[in-house]
Amino acid sequence: MPSGGLFVTGTDTEIGKTHSTAALLRALRAVGRRVQGMKPVASGCELVDGAWCNEDALALMTAAGSTAAYADVNPYALPTPTAPQLAAAETGAEITLPAITAAYRRLSADADTVLVEGVGGWLAPLSDTLDQADLVRALDVPVVLVVGLRLGCINHARLTERAVLADGCRLIGWLGNAVAPGFDTDGRYFEALRRSLRTPCLGRLPHAPA
């Protein structure tokens, strides 16, 4: 796992990006790394002490043992649980790279590694004019792909891998996450993914009930 920063994307929404990012944060802490988690854009928030907060962003802070300002971990906390470009439009917010990169630099000043969790799948836009690839290039960080292990995952994983590489981003590997209980208990899908993807496998996480 490289020092500096790392962007965590997924094959779709609800495939365990937060669960996987938190697991990576805990693993890095266990070997002595100073870490921070970051969820630059989060839709679906609740008011906590008068401020909008997202459950996933708070989970990353807990996993990292973070005392950073919440606004740096989650610069764009959007109330409605829908696509970020729609959630931002509802509030009149404009998602911009400078706000995110400035928060990332502040987190980086007190960490060896910052894990940045994306939204949805790789091609889910942050705004009408901003893709997640734009953010990855602005932060100049490599990418890890979380593959939700369920029916269709081989297709989704191959498509996402091709898209990340086609965007000129550095994909250092993929992580399997068992989102469907009882799926692939014999490991055939997981081994098929190993053979089908060009990038190395970094591991597999067991099913974690919500």
Alpha helices in the chain (DSSP H): 17-30, 55-64, 70-73, 84-91, 97-108, 132-139, 153-166, 188-196
Burial class (CB in 10 A: 0-12, 13-18, 19+), 49: exposed
Q: Is the CB of residue 184 less than 8 Å from the CB of residue 194?
A: no
The verdict on whether 39 is a catalytic residue reads yes
Of 39, 100, 143, 177, catalytic: 39
Alpha-carbon distance 62 to 65, whole Å? 5
| Radius of gyration from C-alpha coordinates of the chain | 16
Report, as residue numbers or ranges, the catalytic residues: 39
